[in-house]
Amino acid sequence: MMVHRIYVWTDIALVKEGEYRCPDSPALLLPLSGKACWQLNGQDSEKMLADAYVLPSHTTMSFENASGHSWSAFLISFRSVAIVDHEGQHLDDCLTADGVHELYTSSGSRMIRLAEQLYERRHETNEPEAYRLHTLFQKMMHLVLLAVSTSDESHDDGAMSGVRRSIAYINHAYAEPIDYVDLANNCRLSPRHYSRLFRKLTGLSPMNYIIRSRITAAKKLLTSTSESVQQVAVKSGFTDPFHFSRTFKRHVGMSPRLYVNLHREQSRVAVYQYLGELLALGVKPVGAPKLLLSGKYVRHLVDGIVETGSTVVMPDMERLRGVTPDAIFTFDGYHFDQYSQIAPTLNIEWSQPAFSRFKQVASLMGRERQADEWIQLYADHVQDVRRQLKKSLGAEKTVSFWYIREFPNQFDVYYDREMMYDDLGLNPPPAIERARKEQPKLPFKQSKDVSEMPLYAGDHMFVVVDSKARRLFEQLRQSFIWRNLQAVQAGRVYLLTTDWLYVDPISRLGQLKELPQMIKA
């Protein structure tokens, strides 16, 4: 089928806050970042909610950054060229004839990538390369025409635009009484149709979106003002403080008062796990078990923390009561009911990846930014250590991690050693690699008989020896099976303390830094 019109790219500009004018041709406005209020031809327009806009010729526009946002967009000028058919007629341009087109499309990011290529090479003078840029523009206009077509077919004469405006209204007026049936009527839609379009845009039902907006506002008020829970409830759109508290706990996972306590600069938190996570976030708990406090990599950070138990599953309840915590962190539900009688208790599942647990702790404490900064610091160190190990290990050598405990004829082999196998990309022995691929619910470690040592031994072996197993290990070192391991014969066995069993962010970073000095070529 022959096309009746083509669009020819003429210019592209990066526009920011200020005044602009389309030349004697239409233009495509493609927002990049930030938020802005704008005027078209001197008239205030709706807030910029669309993914892109097609503007008629001679359109004047001005943009003003919304509070706290630096807005920018691509303004792409083009000509619309009609192709005369065999009868000497041409069709009107549906794209540029009807005023401003608001485009809502899932291809917005792809359009931006195409525009970035146009902008970077906009001064190209080489004819073949310039022609290639025009083909990129044609791809972009194909996406524009698809968006216009979709709008015409399924948005019910601007219904989607109306729903978007109602979303903007909710974002602004969340504290007022809002009935989504009224919102649907304002859009001239049935509640069912309105709800379907609303969910398509937000992923939520109208009521859940309203609740989320109010909870978000409440969280900000709770941490930025000294107002009571009752006052915050009213200002965020809840008429009943009890309903507010129940709703808040259901959506946030804790009561409003606990949320305030955890987001204070000096929160009183006791932990049974997650000590290193909190220290990495700049939070010093008031209580923790001896096992965590004695870790080599956190030892210099724990002055003043009260010992409230021996291990992560053996608390001292009297000491725990004595530190009067605002909240208690536990894992996998250990002692949840007993802890809850002392203070609100937060449970985090241990089976998650280590940094997922870290992010969950950070989210509960309102310290997501600190967690992101720490993870980036760790990632930078990972890249540095990768370069160092590439020189000493090469690409083929394998690495194993074992734990020798006080059980005769047994050793623990670690399948899941995130820092080594995932972060640094070191190769596990074939038996471990095979198990990791074939068994999705593999435990992070497993006890094996010493007769299986050759099967799980890497070219380099990291071996943690428990303090209670030293005599047993000395006997093992004299055995035929140990002395005939390739890593033993090559002097590539690295004996470690139980400090290497800690997987919190601080310990993990400390282990990472030590690794290059330990490994021999």
Instruction: List the chain pLDDT tens, one digit each, 521 residues.
Output: 567 788 999 999 999 888 898 878 899 999 988 777 888 887 776 556 677 889 988 888 888 887 666 788 999 999 988 876 545 555 566 676 557 887 877 678 889 999 999 999 888 888 888 888 999 999 999 998 888 776 555 445 568 888 999 999 999 899 999 998 899 888 888 788 888 889 888 889 999 999 999 999 999 999 888 899 999 999 999 999 999 999 999 999 899 999 999 998 888 999 999 999 999 999 999 999 999 999 999 999 999 999 999 999 999 999 999 999 999 999 999 999 999 999 999 999 998 889 999 999 999 999 999 999 999 999 999 999 999 998 888 778 999 999 999 999 999 999 988 999 999 999 999 999 999 888 777 888 999 999 999 999 999 999 999 999 999 999 999 999 999 999 999 999 999 999 999 999 999 999 999 999 888 54
Q: Are residues 149 and 16 in the same domain?
A: yes
> What's the CA gap between 505 and 442, in Å, rounded?
23
Residue 214 domain-assigned (yes or no): yes
Residue 405 domain-assigned (yes or no): yes
Q: Given this model, what pLDDT does residue 335 score?
A: 96
Q: Domain containing 299: what range?
A: 269-366
H/E stretch holding 488: helix 486-489
Q: Are residues 409 and 424 in the same domain?
A: yes
The partner residues of 60 in beta bridges, in order of sequence, read 21
Residue indicated by tokens 């200020």: 18
Say if residues 197 and 160 touch (Cβ distance below 8 Å).
yes
What is the total count of domains within the chain? Answer: 4
Q: Are residues 277 and 390 in the same domain?
A: no
Q: Are residues 113 and 241 in the same domain?
A: no
The DSSP result for 350-410, as a single string, is: TTS-HHHHHHHHHHHHT-HHHHHHHHHHHHHHHHHHHHHHHHHHTTT-BEEEEEE-SSTTE
CATH label of the domain that carries residue 100 = 2.60.120.280
Q: Are residues 336 and 410 in the same domain?
A: no
Say if residues 50 and 102 touch (Cβ distance below 8 Å).
yes
> What's the CA gap between 461 and 468, in Å, rounded?
20
The residue from 262, 288, 318 where one domain ends is 262
Q: Are residues 253 and 274 in the same domain?
A: no
Residue 163 domain-assigned (yes or no): no
The residue from 340, 366, 392 where one domain ends is 366
Q: Are residues 211 and 149 in the same domain?
A: no
Using alpha carbons, select from 225, 233, 309, 231 the residue that is nearest to residue 275. Answer: 309
Residue 372 domain-assigned (yes or no): no
Which tokens is 255 given? 């009561």
CATH label of the domain that carries residue 347 = 3.40.50.1980
Which tokens is 340 given? 């809850």
Burial class (CB in 10 A: 0-12, 13-18, 19+), 507: buried
Helices (H), 174-273: 180-186, 191-202, 206-224, 229-235, 241-252, 256-262
Q: Are residues 255 and 273 in the same domain?
A: no
Residue 168 domain-assigned (yes or no): no
CATH label of the domain that carries residue 198 = 1.10.10.60
Residue 159 domain-assigned (yes or no): no
The residue from 229, 262, 295 where one domain ends is 262
Q: Which of left, alpha, beta for 156 (phi over 0: left; psi -120 to 50: alpha)?
A: left
Q: Given this model, what pLDDT does residue 106 score?
A: 67
Q: Are residues 143 and 11 in the same domain?
A: yes
Q: Are residues 124 and 33 in the same domain?
A: yes
Residue 371 domain-assigned (yes or no): no
Q: Are residues 12 and 150 in the same domain?
A: yes
> What's the CA gap between 104 and 409, in Å, rounded?
66
Q: Are residues 274 and 254 in the same domain?
A: no
Q: Which amino acid makes up residue 51?
A: D
Say if residues 29 and 53 touch (Cβ distance below 8 Å).
yes
Using alpha carbons, select from 325, 322, 330, 341 the residue that is nearest to residue 285. Answer: 325
Residue 162 domain-assigned (yes or no): no
In whole angstroms, how far apart are CA 30 and each of 38, 86, 155? 14, 36, 20
Q: Given this model, what pLDDT does residue 150 score?
A: 64
Burial class (CB in 10 A: 0-12, 13-18, 19+), 87: exposed
